[in-house]
Structures are given as structure tokens and as C-alpha cells.
Amino acid sequence: MDDQGLRILGAMNAISPMSFVSPIEVNELVKLNKMDLGDRLMLMKKSGHVDVVTRDFVSSMTLPNFIAKIKLTDLGRRALKEKG
């Protein structure tokens, strides 16, 4: 997990360590390009660090790649503790 990934996990944890959160709210903290954030979240989903909920359409509350909600997994929380 690189520093940018840890910043994303940290932002998710700051908003809500146990619940699904809006990727738009997370991006307000990490300030990435929305496509880059979406790509990173999909990679983090594949590695098991986050859960992702997608929608069938893009709205102001979703990322361009249809990601609507994200949540830290136990592995994501553990990565934060190990690096923190």
C-alpha cells in the first residue's frame, strides 16, 4: 500500500470507520482527480482493502466510474494501524 492509498483509507476512516461513505466526501479530503480516485478504489477493492457499491448511472454523488459508496474492510483498517 503506497502513501496515496493510505491517505484514501485514512480519509474514509475519518468520515466513518465502519459505515459506507460517499467517495465524493473522501475526495474532498484527498483532492484527487475523480477518475484517479475511482481507479485506485477499484484496485483497493481487488486487494481487499475496501468494499465498493456501484450504481447504474453517474450522478453528482458518484465517481465517473459509477462508484457510489465505499467502506473500509478489516484489511483496510489493519493496513491503517500497521502504517500509522
Domain ranges of the chain: 3-83
The architecture (CATH level 2) of 3-83 comes to Orthogonal Bundle (1.10)
What pLDDT was estimated at residue 58? 86
Task: Indicate the pTM of the whole model.
Answer: 0.93
Interval 3-14: pLDDT, tens: 999 999 999 999
DSSP annotation string for 4-69: HHHHHHHHHHHH-SSS-B-HHHHHHHH---HHHHHHHHHHHHHTTSEEEEE-SS--TTS-TT-EEE
- Percentage of the residues of the chain whose pLDDT score is greater than 70: 99
